[in-house]
Structures are given as C-alpha cells and as structure tokens.
Amino acid sequence: MTIKRNLSLAKLAAVQITTGPNIEINLRAVEQQLIKAVNAGANIIALPEVFACYDSQQYQAIGREEITAAGRLRKQMASWAQGYRVYLIGGTIPVLEPISQKVYPRCYFYNDEGDELGYYDKLHLFDVDIDDAHSRYRESDAFLSGDEIKLFPTRYGNIGLTICYDLRFPYLYEKLRKAGADIISVVAAFTAKTGKAHWQTLLQARAIEQQCFILAANQWGRHDPKRSTYGHSMIVSPWGEVLDQLPEGEGIACAEIDLAEMEKIRREMPLINHQRNL
C-alpha cells in the first residue's frame, strides 16, 4: 500500500503512565492521556509497552482473549483510534501462541479510521542480569520473539515499529530506514537502572544515525516492589534534538514534526548513500 506523504507539519505524542496489574485502572489512565494528546493536536500517538497490564501472571489469560480482533484490548485500541481520529501505535499486548502456550509481545497499528493495519512482534527479548531489585530478567521464559520488521505508510510519513530492548540493536533501525521509515516508534518499559544510563543516548543515536524522527513512549515509576521504569518519554528529531520530553509522572510528550526539514537534513548529509558494504 502506498500513501502520499504530507510534507506539512504533523504532531506526535508519546503517552507515559505507570501500569499496574488492574486492567480497568490502566485503561482509564491511558484514555486520560489520549484525550490530552488529542487536545494538543496530535495526529500520531504511541502507547508504552505493557500499557494494559504489567503482571506476568495474567499474560497467558489476556493473550488467549487477544488472539482475534474481537479481543477486548484490540477492540479498545480500534475504538480509540476511530473515536479520536488518530493513528495509534498500540504499545504492546500479549497474544497467545497456542502450541507453546507462550505469548508474543505484540504492537498493533491502527489508522485514524480505527482499522487494524497490522502488528509488530518484538524481535529482541530482554534476557539480562541487572543490578536492581528485580535482578534477573528472562523474557524468553514467557515470550516468543518476532522475525520481521514492520513499516506502515501514513499521510504523515512511513512509521516503523520497535519495542524496548530493540533500541540497543542499530541494524534494526537501519533496516527500517532503508525500507523507507520517516518516523520510528519505540514503545518501552525501560528499567530505571538502564534508562538512567542509556535511554536518551540510544534514542538520540538512532535518530541521528537513521535521520528519522523517534517517537519514544516509556513507562514510568514503581509498578511493584521489584520493578521500576525510567519514564523520560520523548520525541527526537533527525538531527538528534529532543523536541519534547516528560521526565517523570504520567502525561504526554508532544511535538510538531516537519518532514520537509527531515528531507533537507537527508539531502545535505546523505548518509544512506555513503554506506559501504565491507
């Protein structure tokens, strides 16, 4: 599908919340921020990773319900996109794979008419050891990884999707840029420990390297006695400038983007033409 890009200004918004185990409370918190973003004029809105529930004990049951588009969360996202007339990047929800009984951490994408255009499954699973209260993270115990990049054309530019730990793998962003990405979203629950060290640096690096706008929606705060996330949701320009940022608390980061300015940056410094295959 080809959609003509609108080189006039558009507005991006990243939703930042503190998700817990109660789905009802989480969905109400998300909608409050969606309303705020829409009132600010946002055309494209990204939700953070695990926006509906941050409790691994519930993922399998939720994932079973979300196998079809009739799932509660998928219907809710479609309703938000249609009702608020925005392109919606749906953070992640768990979707069950029946044979393994594991779930995909899946990001759905909706157009501004509420149509579910597709999804991206997280490519890189967070299997690491960190010096924080949780200490040992093993996403592969419960999750399955995807195996392909995803890019969605809109009239505001081509949008590539990534999820949290993906941010540490530059080749993924290079593949999205070469596929035509203008905007790359990062939906995340980046830990407080690693976020403080690397979050902003990595976001700016990916923006500068690929000369794309980066739309980064992160979780913030303490989710349970062992899990804390960093916040600092932000929008970064292709020049690496932080256009807006929400360091702490629930709310939104929101900024206008100009694809014509992006094209100028790419034209004057044509990095993609200077790459060599060694």
Active site (annotated) includes residue 122: yes
Q: What is the number of other CB atoms lying within 10 angstroms of the CB of residue 194?
A: 20
Residue 53 annotated to the active site: no
The maximal CA–CA distance of the chain, rounded, in angstroms, is: 52
- Residue 215, classed as helix, strand or coil, is strand
* Tokens, residue 253: 């980061």
Distance (Å, rounded) from C-alpha 232 to C-alpha 40?
19
254 in catalytic set: no
Task: Please answer whether residues 162 and 172 qualify as being in contact, where contact means their C-beta atoms are separated by less than 8 angstroms.
Answer: yes
Residues 6+ apart with CB under 8 A from 35: 84
Catalytic pick from 53, 107, 164, 212?
A: 164
Helix (H, G, I), strand (E, B) or coil at 51: coil
Which residue among the candidates 49, 66, 139, 250 is catalytic per the annotation?
49
Active-site pick, 11, 102, 122, 150 = 122
Active site residues: 49, 122, 164
